[in-house]
Structure formats: structure tokens, C-alpha cells
Amino acid sequence: MKKQLTKADILNIDKFLAIRLQKRPEILEVKKHRRVPIGPDATLYFENIETIWWQIQEMLAIEKGGNAQLEDELTAYNPLIPQGHELVATFMIEIDDTLRRTTTLAKLGGIEKTIGVRFSGHHITACPEEDVERTNSEGKTSSIHFLRFPFNTQQIADFKTLGQDIILEATHPFYTHKTVLPEGIRAALSQDFMD
């Protein structure tokens, strides 16, 4: 299983634009099986090498920053590719109304430390990326967080087992919601683990 993208994996802008419309439905299908809402305002987007490849290609196509940008994108996004013993997700608080978004984010400081997954007697709390402080001193959080869910060997084996309830949850005092992972998503995420 490939765990990093290199310059050799990235198409130049012209080649990418030539396949973009054809490739887009394929990537949307991948993403459909990696998106999990938690409550009304938050969503986990589980990343893999395909979603990260697409994100880098899109950024390069939009911003046209050339090789200097490519290096920056690889540095920024490679850490979001699962390494075989973890799930990695972009956690987004998605509220269209500006006033409600501002008010909600002001109350959700530290939410990134309250996201977890429960199954088969296991509880795994997400480890937020600490590249940037995403909750400020006043308790306001960012609308985007990058989360890593580390698994041990037994947890991986149990996660891959069919027919169980896998619950993703947010346990923040001002945002407490949970959702049961659909089987199709459990199967897709199971592919992020090395055998």
C-alpha cells in the first residue's frame, strides 16, 4: 500500500485538466463512501491516497503555483494519508449562516479532542494534528480540523469484522452527537489498514 505521494505521482496542469471531467465522478464515488456526518453541523471526511491526490491536483490547477506550490502541497497533504494502522480524517464544522457559525465556533473550543470511535469494547479518541493551534485562548475553534485515529492490531481486526455497530461520536459539552457507521463506509475505511 502506497503511503506517500511524490512529484512523480502528480500530473502537470494540462494533463490533469485533460482528465479532470472524466476522473471527477470516480473521485466523488470514493469520497461518498468516506463521508460521515456527526450531528447537524459536523462531518468527518476520511482521507486516503486518492482523495489527497485529487486535492493536490485541484489546488495546483486552481492556484497555478508551479513546482514551488507542488512542494508545499506535498508537505501539507502527505501527512493526511493513512499509514496502515490508522484512520485519518478532515473534521469540518459546516454552517452556512455566518452569524450562527461565528456563535457556534465561539462555544466549541477543544472539540477536536472530543471526537471518537467506539466498537467491540474499544474506544479510540482522535488525535488532532498540532501543526497549528485551532482553538484560541478565548475558546473559539476553527471550522476545520485534521484528526488521526490510531489503531492497534486487535482494534484493526475488530474494525474489519462484519455486522457490528461502529459509532462515531462528538462528546463536547456544546456538541454531543453520534452516528452509526454504515456498512459500506466501514468496508471502505477497512481498506486503509495494512493486512
- Residues 127-183: pLDDT tens digits? 998 766 666 667 789 999 999 999 999 999 999 999 889 999 999 999 999 999 999
Give the model's pLDDT for residue 64: 85
User: What does pLDDT average to over the chain?
Assistant: 93
- Nearest to 88, CA basis, from 111, 69, 115: 115
Q: How many residues does the chain have?
A: 195
Q: Which of the pair, 194 or 185, is modelled with greater confidence?
A: 185
Coil, helix or strand at residue 1: coil
Provide CB contacts within 8 A for 66, sequence distance 6+: none
Q: Quote the crossing angle between the two packed helices 49-63 and 66-77, to the nearest 10°.
A: 150
Give the model's pLDDT for residue 149: 98
- Nearest to 165, CA basis, from 179, 152, 153: 179
d(CA 75, CA 71): 6
Give the model's pLDDT for residue 77: 92
Average pLDDT over residues 180-193: 96
- Residues 66-104: pLDDT tens digits? 788 899 999 999 999 999 999 999 999 999 999 999 999
Average pLDDT over residues 104-131: 93
Give the model's pLDDT for residue 46: 98
Give the model's pLDDT for residue 191: 95
